[in-house]
Structure 1
């Protein structure tokens, strides 16, 4: 058996024995406590039984005294005792004589009252068994019978006193004699004796039970003591066995090993030690034999060492790494040829000098101190440092230094190896720069931004601070690229990056995520006021004109802001939150900012679900066109209508176009939906041109997405009109002013194709966007639609009326008809008609209607118009 295993085994056995002894002793103490607890239980139970008997005695004494004397204080004592015993009134704390000396207790300031609790409840809480409880309950029932007799006697005396009213002397009466007979008669005495019998039985039963528990506890205690003594004897035997084993397996082999060591010391290198045991000493004997064999082979090893030295010299001379060997004082003794190739110094020029000549003035004090500390402590150092060649050129080297020690532990030589890694470092720096920085603006790119954000989050967690993440997107940047070209767009991005960096502190992180998206990480926040100032500065700087060579461009910024840890727990959630807030700023009209709220997150989730549902809306026949009439002011006739899209969601009901059109545009589904709208409107126009008015025209709304380069909509639409044998005038397309900002050839060619086919073009929401007369002239607009925001507040002599009049006059000068949207009142209609507006549209005339209801509306409008003409 191995010594280590035996030691562990003995330790485990001894610890188990000690633990067992401790457990048995602890259990013996518990048995002693159980015996004491049984005695204590007996004492308290007897007190409660005695209290039951004593209370019965006190009730008897008080009742008899009251009956014989008529003094009301004894009646009062009687009911006090009864209320305390039944738990109606509080009882004295830690006072066993609860039912007597009441007058003295009342006067004592020391006595304290406890909680009301009945005597029988106290007995039940004491944990009496069923038989004991039954005996006490029997005694209480019999005591209660006595109490009934006592109450009857007291009631009789009360009746006598009631007849005597205020008389101080109670005269003798038959009722009084009856009360005395009740309390002193044989029946009462017999009942009194019956109370004592179960209490005495209870005491006997309790004594028997207690004696049995004490006897059982003492027996168990004796058994535990016997087991403890047995375990102690086993522990002593284990110690004796250990001593015997140690002598046989350890001491004797040690003596044998010592004898053989003495032989080796005297020069007998053939000495060998043969230990018969199978433990660590046997292994030590084997190691001793190996040592003796090693000594015999020492001469051969010396020859091998000399060969190794020759090989080391060859490696030293032919190594591609520069090597320096210095003495203990760090003076160069020798260098290899590679050293000369790297530094330019020959061996004759450098031997005898300090290696510091290569690095003088290039290393910081902290770096030198760290290197010297490592060399002194460990005799080794490895790291990167700068060096200077003989021609004064600076290079970067990777240096390794090792100490060679004497037998006494002092340093004998220092060996230094280094290689020139200048080209490698430049290559790594270039790769790192390309991987982490935007080549156009030199700002950190998306990869570096995410690393910086994670570091800032860790810093905020460590110091308990907050950070703000700002996501910025340039408004109308695409238009700059399309109009002036990508070279000018790149200049704008560089200028925007410089402006953004100038608005924040030096410790803040600015990055370009790609395209025209930038981010700013603001750390160590102190107040929201500073955030608002930074955001206002950014918005102001970005809205200033950009002078880009010979061109001047105007853009703005939409900003989303989110905070850590308030809004999100990680980098990904923060970026997502900032993106949602940024799109909320764009939806508010751009050139503004928005803070992230959980409402935005919920809205984004709703948009995501709507986007998924919208994909099946077209195939599921959930889309429907409603039509709103466009009334000609001069005649009151309806020759035009605007087709308005409605989505009847199977679960959500009617979904507003405001909620899903932007989703359709973002996902590109607007192309298929717009094509469906055109075809449905064209088919409906054919029906109404045949049944109501030959020049009837339906206008449809279009999205800038439908005019993108990769969307071919004009040719299929024109082919569909020819298939229906409809002229182009049957359809009008409504575009927004934002589309006219995009003067790309694709937009221009599509609009020109529609014009050549006779399809009219209306500019929707005129006056709310980038209105320009040059756009109206360039694109041959047929109708201007005055936005309802100008019509809603229309009143005589108002600014909105003046603005509407100016738009109408301007449009008529250019040969453009004007349609006013959102007319709700007759006053608005009359003011617009007086100003010369051509058409009106709004709920005053009709709300948007399904096709069948719109047809009824047209029939009614035609009848009204004919009636007006006939009159």
Structure 2
């Protein structure tokens, strides 16, 4: 907290309590006193081991009290409102504890000034009697048998009772049933002289139903012979402090929007459910994610979205409570349910199906009739051998599979599939740093003329030298980059790295340098910065645009209206050659390809492999390949077939009309240096 912030806080503090404080102190004295209090309080907040510091702050407040009860409540109100914003690094529980110590120090100092109070039936000095009746704390004179003999006005006001109603009644009547056994034992210890003072925080329900929390301090008073004579019980009203503490506790474990448990509370519940209290105990954890919820927020606003979340939470909670399950909100539109003692997966999946059906029922939010749906990932297993972290992680991965496979469905944890998914998560997380640490490198697959065998081009193939998983091909991580949005950065890196290699080939081999072919993903093709990034890559590397071939997926050449993307025309104007792969995957688009400035088409996949059988080509594969080649021939486009493994397969493709081939039959994958050797030595 800065010096300016301290000064402003003291000024607000002074204004908060000044109307209620009539102590004969000058303005500067008040500020000095509050500054001292603040220093004590900040000392404890900075170091929890200095618990007495906040109590000293409370004791220092007493000169401002002057028989007015609002100095302490005003102080607690102000500090509870201001300190969280000024000291965001201090945990809420530590802040609540410090304020409690402050209040306790204030009360203790006040009691010290009233320590000689005895009931009116005793022979008291006038000063003690004045303290008894004017104290802002509740005070009761109680016999050693627990009967109230006399009370002051503050106590009667605190509990809403008259003197006649209190006098002669049991002191136990001033606490609710839950605390009576503890108070009975404490008073017995005082009455027989085993202890001199006891403290107890307890709740009392008044005649009008209000709840009052008090901190009781009961002290033993002995007679002239040293024998237990009577008790003096001080009552401090801590209702506001208790409510503040409860508010902090709720905020720590409860989602403020829905009232459900939050993630911290969920993890505590999972911890408890994992306790192996009997052999074979099982537990289930289910994660739910609303499908398409972002569209609700975007179209109707966050206020409507919040009401949808509250209604979904209500429905989940209503059904889950019937199974003794705990429901939590753990993210924006993500919920969780933990089922202790789940017994078997069938019972859990049946409950999840009911929950998903309940969520899909129409809901009226204001003037809008809305329908929601959710996907769910379920983990159900024995508690032995598992822990909270692995349970949450497995449920999260299973939910991801459910979201990927569709909407409004559930998926049950599968160890083998989740192991692959977990590995994918790890690769996705490590990919950005792999780019930074130069763990990626580019190798090349030569492309040859199907008739002469001359190498005319090479296709860039990105590899990953992973510390744990070894060398990984692009098919292992490019899809992950597409899902996570890293594909644009990865594609840009590939263009630049491969472009540098190809520019060197042009310098060393001249007109004999092979063309560089780079495959772009659909997402990268739709990147609005692609043209700019490509121009920069060509400028940076010095690669002529005429030496670059871009292989674009057929699906990326058309927008949602079916029109060719503008970038295709721009690439062609730059001199870049364009090949389309996934050719023929959608025959409704083939006719429109003839109007695009393409340089060729690429075919691959199982149909190419179907031509490798020594006993003859697979009929359907041959038919589909012939159809694709025939369509390309009608557009005067050469066809490149990838994945060619044998001379017989290459011969059949050549007979069909394939002009270019790539695969192990042509050459193994080579490095950038080996490209020069391969082409230069041909």
Give TM-score, length-normalised by structure 2: 0.55
Aligned to 1:440: 257
Q: Is it true that 1:321 corresponds to 2:151 in the alignment?
A: no
Q: Contact conserved, 1:643 with 1:700, CA < 8 A, in 2?
A: no
Shift of 1:324: 2.5
Q: Is it true that 1:397 corresponds to 2:213 in the alignment?
A: yes
Distance of 2:342 and 2:272 partners within structure 1: 15
Distance of 2:544 and 2:435 partners within structure 1: 28
Q: Is it true that 1:678 corresponds to 2:499 in the alignment?
A: no
Distance of 2:363 and 2:457 partners within structure 1: 44
Deviates more, 1:843-852 or 1:689-698: 689-698
Aligned to 1:334: 150
Query: Structure 1 unaligned runs (5+)?
Result: 1-305, 633-637, 744-750, 761-781, 792-803, 860-871
Shift of 1:655: 1.8
Aligned to 1:417: 234
In the TM superposition, 1:624-663 aligns within 5 A as: 624-626=442-444, 644-647=461-464, 654-661=471-478
Q: 1:610 to 1:332 in 2, by over 3 A?
A: closer
Distance of 1:639 and 1:480 partners within structure 2: 53
Q: 1:431 to 1:733 in 2, by over 3 A?
A: farther
Q: Contact conserved, 2:287 with 2:335, CA < 8 A, in 1?
A: yes
Aligned to 1:700: 520
Deviates more, 1:583-592 or 1:714-723: 583-592
Q: What SS class does the counterpart of residue 438 from structure 1 fall into?
A: coil
Q: What SS class does the counterpart of residue 139 from structure 2 fall into?
A: strand
Q: Is it true that 1:829 corresponds to 2:625 in the alignment?
A: yes
Choose the corresponding residue for 1:427, options 244, 247, 252: 244
Q: What SS class does the counterpart of residue 244 from structure 2 fall into?
A: helix
Choose the corresponding residue for 2:381, options 563, 567, 576: 563
Q: 1:129-158, CA deviations, whole angstroms, 9 ceiling, x for partnerless residues?
A: xxxxxxxxxxxxxxxxxxxxxxxxxxxxxx
Q: What SS class does the counterpart of residue 281 from structure 2 fall into?
A: coil
Bigger radius of gyration, 1 or 2? 1
Q: 1:741 to 1:484 in 2, by over 3 A?
A: farther
Distance of 1:505 and 1:586 partners within structure 2: 26
Q: What SS class does the counterpart of residue 385 from structure 1 fall into?
A: strand
Shift of 1:523: 0.5
Choose the corresponding residue for 2:169, options 354, 357, 366: 354
Choose the corresponding residue for 1:385, options 203, 217, 223: 203
Shift of 1:508: 0.8
In the TM superposition, 1:160-179 aligns within 5 A as: none
Aligned to 1:177: none
Aligned to 1:248: none
Distance of 1:815 and 1:382 partners within structure 2: 85
Distance of 1:786 and 1:502 partners within structure 2: 49
Q: Contact conserved, 2:502 with 2:543, CA < 8 A, in 1?
A: no
Distance of 1:578 and 1:695 partners within structure 2: 47
Q: Contact conserved, 2:283 with 2:343, CA < 8 A, in 1?
A: no
Q: 1:479-511, CA deviations, whole angstroms, 9 ceiling, x for partnerless residues?
A: 665676655554554444344435534421111
Choose the corresponding residue for 1:525, options 342, 347, 372: 342
Shift of 1:465: 2.0
Q: Contact conserved, 2:286 with 2:338, CA < 8 A, in 1?
A: yes
Distance of 2:219 and 2:442 partners within structure 1: 88
Q: 1:20-68, CA deviations, whole angstroms, 9 ceiling, x for partnerless residues?
A: xxxxxxxxxxxxxxxxxxxxxxxxxxxxxxxxxxxxxxxxxxxxxxxxx
In the TM superposition, 1:85-234 aligns within 5 A as: none
Distance of 2:465 and 2:515 partners within structure 1: 31
Shift of 1:535: 3.6
Q: Contact conserved, 2:179 with 2:202, CA < 8 A, in 1?
A: no
Aligned to 1:115: none
Shift of 1:433: 1.7
Q: 1:522 to 1:491 in 2, by over 3 A?
A: same
Q: 1:325 to 1:655 in 2, by over 3 A?
A: same
Number of positions where the alignment pairs a residue of Structure 1 with one of Structure 2: 494
Q: What SS class does the counterpart of residue 443 from structure 1 fall into?
A: coil
Q: Contact conserved, 2:262 with 2:329, CA < 8 A, in 1?
A: yes
Query: Structure 2 unaligned runs (5+)?
Result: 1-121, 192-197, 609-620, 645-652, 654-660
Q: Contact conserved, 1:627 with 1:642, CA < 8 A, in 2?
A: yes
Q: What SS class does the counterpart of residue 559 from structure 1 fall into?
A: strand
Aligned to 1:501: 317
Distance of 1:852 and 1:681 partners within structure 2: 11
Q: Contact conserved, 1:630 with 1:840, CA < 8 A, in 2?
A: no
Q: Is it true that 1:470 corresponds to 2:266 in the alignment?
A: no
Q: Is it true that 1:593 corresponds to 2:390 in the alignment?
A: no
Q: Contact conserved, 2:325 with 2:338, CA < 8 A, in 1?
A: yes
Distance of 1:614 and 1:352 partners within structure 2: 76
Choose the corresponding residue for 1:575, options 384, 392, 401: 392
Shift of 1:398: 1.4
Q: Contact conserved, 1:721 with 1:728, CA < 8 A, in 2?
A: no
Q: CA RMSD in A?
A: 5.9
Q: 1:431 to 1:351 in 2, by over 3 A?
A: closer
Q: What SS class does the counterpart of residue 576 from structure 1 fall into?
A: helix
Shift of 1:614: 8.1
Q: 1:799-839, CA deviations, whole angstroms, 9 ceiling, x for partnerless residues?
A: xxxxx545656x67998999765242322213446788977
